Amino acid sequence: MRNYHVRLLDIQKADDAAALMQQIGTDIHGVSLMKNKMVHYNFRVGPLPPAAANIIKQEMLSVGGEAAVTRGVINCSANDSDAILSATRKQFRKFCQKLRAQPFSLASMADKIQTSLQLQEKSTGLPFKCRGLDIDLKQRSLIMGILNVTPDSFSDGNRFLSLENALNQARKLVEEGADILDIGGESTRPGAAQVNEEEELNRVLPVIETLRRDFPQLPISIDTYKSRVAAAALNVGADIINDISAFNFDPKMAEVAAATDAYTCLMHIQGTPNAMQTDPVYSDLFAEICHYFEKSIKLASDAGVKREKLILDPGIGFGKTLEHNLLLLKHLNDFTGFNLPLLIGTSRKSFISKLTGDPVDQRLSASLATVAQALTKGANIARVHDVAATKQAVTVIDAINHIQR
């Protein structure tokens, strides 16, 4: 009797499928024909009127894919419906062709699906060009070192408030391997007090000015949601705006980003730092964050900010429960459809202590675990306090994530 080996395969992209078929000696023409049939894509689309949802379902089934819709769509008793679509690349191509002949603006939906698939399959990568950095973020992850020039930050408040201490810490982070330094002059921990613009400027500008002189090729980020602070920081040498409100707290921030051609990180937050952790509730966590990003990307576009200058951050700990944070880390890939760099900030955060019970100064191992998870699930930039240990971890994570079969 023969002993057959049966093995479940992890095929995430067409190139994986092609490599596996080549290993067993599949004909080159067969590889070309079959590789796109071995990778499934899943989309959530909507909201759709019942008639449109019925069309979506029937057209997807007709090409061999699957479509899940709201109960009540078939007899139009539902008011509207989202749909979850699952199919191969080839099936989606046929499906999109069919949608373009349908009413309810379904042709525009087909265009969006087609564009998303093309972006996912682009071989050009995710370029990031800032000061001395000119890399493909799909090939190498970046480490953003945190420098809080504040008296009340949750992890290192009051440690680097003086210019001398701040500069010494910055130099240490650079020596340890930080690709970017993120300078913040106002704590945004839950319940933190607001700081006026003058005080924030007095804290950050001397640090940025000195670092720009000492490290001319180092990208520097200003962590602020105030347009005046951002503009002043960029004027003395900063390159990146890290806005926890994604242009929502200060409408002029998008204008500053456009005028200076700065990179901008758009972070999701529910509420404000003062009350964001009181009782964060979502009807659909991922849908709401995606809609928030879409709104902020439009604000950027309307102001003249180039899309390739945007970075997204789902905002771990900013209006999120423990469950929300864990779900975001587990399913971070849901945000890669924007085809923009993803930044993740989990370092030493309080949700870790809810799992481990450790105080803030003993959360390094757990923080590294979250970085590993995030980078494996699509993040490109890790914002951290502990650069040396993270550098070691990221080197290994990148090697694993980018090895080819």
Instruction: Output the CA–CA distances (angstroms, integers) from residue 112 to 55, 120, 214, 334, in the order listed.
Output: 17, 12, 45, 15
Compute the half-sphere exposure of residue 171: CA atoms within 13 Å on the CB side of its CA: 9
CA distance 146 to 347: 9
CA distance 164 to 186: 18
Active-site residue flag, 383: yes
Among the options 320, 349, 363, 377, which is catalytic? 349
Instruction: Output the CA–CA distances (angstroms, integers) from residue 248 to 186, 243, 290, 295, 342, in the order listed.
Output: 17, 9, 15, 9, 19
- The encoded tokens of residue 285 equal 């966590």
- The encoded tokens of residue 346 equal 């989990």
CA distance 306 to 264: 10
Residues with catalytic function:
349, 383
